[in-house]
Amino acid sequence: MPTYERLKGFRDFYPPEMAARREVVDTVEDAARRYGFREIATPRLERAELWTDKSGDDIVDELYAFEDHGGRHVTLAPELTPTVARMYAAKSQELSKPVKWVSTRPFWRYEAVQQGRFREFYQTNIDVFGSSEPEADAEVLATAADALTDLGLTTDDFEFRVSHRDILGSLLRSFDADVDVIAAIRAVDKSEKVDENEYLDLLADAGLGYDEAREFDDLLGVTDPANLDELTDFAASDGLADAVENLRAVLAAADDYGVGDYCDLSLRTARGLDYYTGAVFECFDATGEVSRSVFGGGRYDDLIEEFGGQPTPAVGVAPGYAPLTLLLERADVLPEAAVSTDYYVLQVGDTREVAARVARDLRARGHVVETDVSDRSFGAQMGYADSVNAETVVIVGEQDLADGNVTLKEMSSGDQTTAPVDAFPGEFDRPTYDDFA
């Protein structure tokens, strides 16, 4: 008898854990739904060129790519963006703008497995296409903040560190027009993970002198939006002034949207991915206990065009459930990992027909109802009812039925009472022990 192993970095979710996970996903999706993000569904497999043509080696080396039976180079998608860019480009004329899409699904990257990182990982992607206004950035921030507060998190639990790619780029170019902006921004992204000398070396590799690198890093230390003038005073360029104005406008819109308290100016938050173009942000555990970024987002105005569409501004966020679960655990608000059952209809003797009718009527009222499908004893059925956390057990026994009754047992208290079988559930939407005691 062979036994088969699950692949490393892939997960099985059994019902108790899945119940908690479903509650988290539903909460995030519901926040997006209320903001008018519309669900889409997308292929899990795409042409590998969607990544090999444009992505950095980091992503390409981690692809689950192969050749299909038709000789196509295909890959399991490691992220959603190229797919939605392809979808947007295919129907851009007929789509009503702004386009606001949401979807939850797994992605795959062959990378080292560690806490909160798997090879198959689930994200909810939330994106606005077709608006370059700061309100679109703020709406994405507000949706993410509402999702987190709906999950029970507070201002003490999380913060959005907000930065701006064009501020970083304009500052860098003000030192030296030839600086490698992408390499320097990657260095900033790593600044908290490496020691200072290594960080300065990385900036030097990108083309800054060491004094310039220190000066640049000092400028990134500003935390009060009012002090962003220090940057424009330091380097007068239209690009920098526009970027500072845009970042202030995003933060002001986030204030109007009621989520300003969650947003902290943090220019050193650079986001590793190359394709961001404007405001970017990362969500962190405000206590620092979960040290890694929980998720991030930002503006990527060039990407739709790169994938063959008309030039289209875009901004989005993609909470991932493995790191989010770490934050919810830390804050002690992860939903309980347990299944729930409204009624177990227990059969004693030859009472299947009545028990089935009772179960059916309770299900018609929307409840979760189980009954015996294993021909088991009273005790075995009661044990099962307990194992699925049944709130009420409806005992349909031959003797009770002869008297025209069923028995209701409230599982939390153990109290029981009889109810007339012909009136059960009858007029009651959700009959309990109390209705008949």
Is 276 labelled as part of a ligand binding site? Answer: yes
Closest distance between its own copies and the C-beta of residue 179, in Å? 28
- Does 130 help bind its own copies (rule: CB under 8 A)? yes
Nearer to its own copies, 101 or 199 (CB): 101
3-class secondary-structure state, position 256: helix
329 is in an annotated binding site: no
Q: Residue 53 annotated as binding?
A: no
The two three-digit tokens of residue 85, written as one number: 């860019």
Q: At what angle do helices 210-219 and 196-205 cross, to 10 degrees?
A: 110
Q: Are 392 and 417 in contact (CB under 8 A)?
A: no
Residue 123 is labelled as binding a ligand? yes
Residue 73 in contact with its own copies, rule: CB under 8 A: no
Question: Binder to its own copies among 67, 196, 211, 218 (CB under 8 A)?
Answer: 67
The secondary structure element, H or E, covering residue 264 is strand 263-265
114: contact with its own copies by CB under 8 A: no
Question: What is the bridge-based pairing of β-strands 390-397 and 405-410?
Answer: antiparallel
Of 111, 421, 159, 366, the C-alpha closest to 269 is 159
Q: Choose among 262, 266, 321, 291: nearest CA to 141.
A: 262
Residue 76 binds its own copies, judged by CB under 8 A = yes
Candidates 69, 114, 233, 422; binder of its own copies (CB under 8 A) is 69
Residue 60 touches its own copies, criterion: CB under 8 A = no
The reply on whether position 369 binds its own copies by CB under 8 A is yes
Distance in Å, CB of 316 to its own copies, minimum: 13
Return the number of the residue (71 or 288) whose C-beta is nearest its own copies: 71
Residue 288 as a binder of its own copies (CB under 8 A): the answer is: no
- Tell me the per-residue interface mask from 229 to 268 with its own copies, x by CB under 8 A, - otherwise: ------------------------x--xxx----------
CB of 189 to its own copies, least distance (A): 25
Q: Is 127 annotated as a binding residue?
A: yes
67 is in an annotated binding site: no
Q: Which of 183, 337, 368, 401 is the binder for its own copies (CB under 8 A)? A: 368
* 308 near its own copies (CB under 8 A): yes
| Span from 151-159, 233-241, 383-391, 411-419 in contact with its own copies (CB under 8 A) | 383-391
Q: Does 59 bind its own copies (CB under 8 A)?
A: no
Whose Cβ is closer to its own copies: residue 285's or residue 372's?
372
**50 in contact with its own copies (CB under 8 A):** yes
87 versus 167: smaller Cβ distance to its own copies = 87
CA distance 257 to 334: 26
Scanning residues 131 to 170, which ones bind its own copies (CB under 8 A)? 131, 133, 135-136, 138-139, 146
| Cβ 357 to its own copies shortest distance, Å | 7
**430 among the known binding-site residues?**
no
Those residues whose C-beta lies under 8 Å from the C-beta of residue 65, and which sit 6 or more positions away, are 48, 52, 73, 74, 75, 76
Between 131 and 405, name the residue whose CB sits nearer to its own copies.
131
Cα-based distances in Å from 35 to 30, 32, 153, 192: 9, 5, 19, 34
Q: Could you say which of 78, 98, 297, 397 contacts its own copies (CB under 8 A)?
A: 98
Q: Where are the alpha helices (DSSP H) in 116-258?
A: 134-150, 165-175, 181-190, 196-205, 210-219, 229-234, 238-256
102 to each of 199, 292, 320, 324, 402, how far by Cα in Å? 36, 24, 13, 17, 56
Rank residues 134 and 169 by Cβ distance to its own copies and give the closer one. Answer: 134
- Applying CB under 8 A, the site for its own copies has a residue count of 99
Q: Does 378 bind its own copies (CB under 8 A)?
A: no
Residue 75 tokens read as 């890959």
Under rule CB under 8 A, which residues in 179-208 are in contact with its own copies?
none
Round the CA-based radius of gyration of the chain to a whole number and report it.
28
CA distance 32 to 143: 6
Q: Which one of the spans 161-169, 260-268, 272-280, 365-373 is the region binding its own copies (CB under 8 A)? A: 365-373
Q: Which residues contact 161 (CB under 8 A, 6 or more apart)?
A: 264, 266, 269, 281, 282, 283, 284
> How far, rounded to the nearest angstrom, does the alpha carbon of residue 54 sit from its chain's CA centroid?
25
Among 268, 357, 417, 432, binds its own copies (CB under 8 A): 357
Beta-strand runs (E) in 274-338: 279-285, 295-299, 314-317
Name the β-bridge partners of 317.
Answer: 126, 297
Residue ranges for the known binding site are 79-81, 109, 123, 127, 271, 275-276
Residue ranges for the known binding site for L-histidine are 79-81, 109, 123, 127, 271, 275-276
